Amino acid sequence: FETQIGVQPGKQETIAGKGDLVEITGAYADGTEFIQKHAFRDGKPWSYKVPTHTDPEPPKVINLAVDSRDKAEARFTLTITEEDGKKRTLPPMVIGPESKISLGEFEAKEIRVAAVYETGKNVNAGTFRPSTNEQVYLIPEQPKAPDGNEPPETVVDAIDDEPATGFTVTGMLTYRDNYENRDKQEMIVNGPDGRVIYVAGDQRNLIDGGVLISVCPLGGIVYMPNSGNYYLYPRGQGFEMRALLNAERPEQLAMAIEEWSRQN
């Protein structure tokens, strides 16, 4: 059988059941996991002590990439804010059509990226702060100019799928994929039938039609392609408790999550 418990610091929980093997899968508040197996060959009670854990140091670098979906070249500029508050702007750089370039790591307090399409139209700027994962500034394809002979398009607000019932977020997972040479993130979910489901990336059938874009100690961040909304799926709660974040772009998510955390 499988059971889920929450253990408070300094407290002890007792679990009884039949069987000769127990596997403990746990996670600290920051998402770090620990796993322990024990065989009951002697039939005696067994006491397990959760290992002492120290929160990792906050990230100090910004690992940045630029991804252009436009069909023409674009120019972008980085404005770097140092830890002492001083700012410096790097010379403009060019990115080819429909390409992605990694800029590497920067030890900085903040980086602001501004881009311009080949037509001269500005792209929405993005602001990035230190993180453990690579962050991507996206240059979307420039919308085509409307034809004056075409009738105006009727815009209908998209509605997000209703949250699925019986699914609970139980953990977050971040690991290094040595084959693809990049970090990956997954959201661990308990299904209504007791199955443990690992949700990663674009698996819309698993998370209400959304795409898992990142995880944090509070839960998983899911983007809804139909509406453009961002949701936080809180750790330890069911999908129906998802929270709509006050963000329209990825660079606004950190502030939106902090705002939600203060209110909850």
Q: Show Cβ contacts of residue 252 under 8 Å, excluding neighbours closer than 6 positions.
A: 246
Residue ranges of E strands in 158-260: 168-177, 182-190, 196-199, 211-216, 219-223, 230-234, 243-244
Sorted by sequence, the CB contacts under 8 Å of residue 216 that are 6+ apart come out as 31, 172, 257
**pLDDT score of 102 more than 90:** yes
Write down the pLDDT at residue 33. Answer: 76
Q: What's the DSSP call for residue 238?
A: B
Candidate CATH numbers 3.10.580.10, 1.20.120.330, 2.60.40.180, 3.10.20.30; the one for domain 62-139: 2.60.40.180
pLDDT of residue 154: 53
The answer for 45, left when phi > 0, alpha when psi is -120 to 50, beta otherwise, is beta
What are 109-147's pLDDT values in tens digits? Answer: 999 999 999 988 889 889 999 988 899 999 999 887 666
**Residue 205 or residue 246, greater confidence:** 246
The whole-number average pLDDT for the span 95-114 is: 93
Using one digit for the tens of pLDDT, what is the confidence trace for 212-237?
999 998 999 999 888 889 999 999 99
What secondary structure does DSSP assign to 12-51, as a single string?
Answer: ------S-SEEEEEEE-TTS-EEEEEEE-SS-------PP
CA distance 5 to 13: 8
User: Mean pLDDT over residues 160-175, rounded?
Assistant: 89
Residue 188 banded pLDDT, cuts 50, 70, 90: very high
Q: What pLDDT is stored for residue 143 in this prediction? A: 82
Chain-centre distance of CA 122, in angstroms? 27
Alpha helices in the chain (DSSP H): 253-263
> What is the pLDDT, as a whole number, of residue 10?
67
Q: Provide the percentage of residues in the chain whose pLDDT is more than 90.
A: 39
pTM: 0.43
pLDDT of 107: 93
Say if residue 43's pLDDT is above 70: no
All structural domains of the chain with their residue ranges: 1-55, 62-139, 168-263
